Amino acid sequence: MAGGLAIGKLFSVEGLNVVVTGGGRGIGRMFSEAFMTNAASTVVVTSRKRDALMAAAAEIGAMGPGECIAMAHDLSTPEGCAAFVEELSGRVDKLDVLINNAGTTWGAPMDEYPSKAWDRCFALNVRAPFELTRACLPLLRAASSPGSPSRVINVGSVAGLMPQPVPTFAYDASKAAVHHLTRKLASELAGSDAKITVNAIAPGFVPSSMSEQLTTYASAEAISNSVPMGRLGTPEDMAGAALFLASRAGAWVTGSVVTVDGGSVGAAQVPFDLSML
Residue 272 lies in a domain: no
pTM, entire model = 0.93
In a domain, 97, yes or no: yes
- In this structure, is residue 237 part of a structural domain? yes
Tens-place pLDDT, residues 171-213: 999 999 999 999 999 999 998 777 899 999 999 999 876 656 6
Classify residue 218 by burial, with Cβ atoms within 10 Å: 0-12, 13-18, 19+.
Answer: middle
CB 91 within 8 A of CB 66: no
CATH code, 96: 3.40.50.720
Which of 171, 201, 206, 246 is labelled catalytic?
Answer: 171
Number of other CB atoms surrounding residue 141 within 10 Å? 17
Based on the residue annotation, tell me whether 217 is a catalytic residue of this protein.
no
Q: Is residue 108 part of a domain?
A: yes
Q: Is 251 exposed, middle or buried (0-12, 13-18, 19+ CB in 10 A)?
A: middle
Parent domain of 63: 12-260
Q: Torsion over CA of 242, 248, 250 and 251, rounded to 10 degrees?
A: 130
Q: Which residues of the chain have pLDDT under 70?
A: 1-2, 209-220, 269-277
The pLDDT value given to residue 55: 97
**Could you give the number of structural domains in the chain?**
1
In a domain, 209, yes or no: yes
Q: Is residue 271, in this structure, part of any structural domain at all? A: no
Confidence at residue 226, expressed as pLDDT on a 0 to 100 scale: 84
What pLDDT does 277 receive? Answer: 47
pLDDT tens-digit readout, 98-137: 999 999 999 999 999 999 999 999 999 999 999 999 999 9
**Per the domain annotation, does 277 fall within a domain?**
no
Output the CA–CA distances (angstroms, integers) from residue 145 to 94, 96, 242, in the order listed: 12, 10, 20
Assigned domain for 214 exists: yes
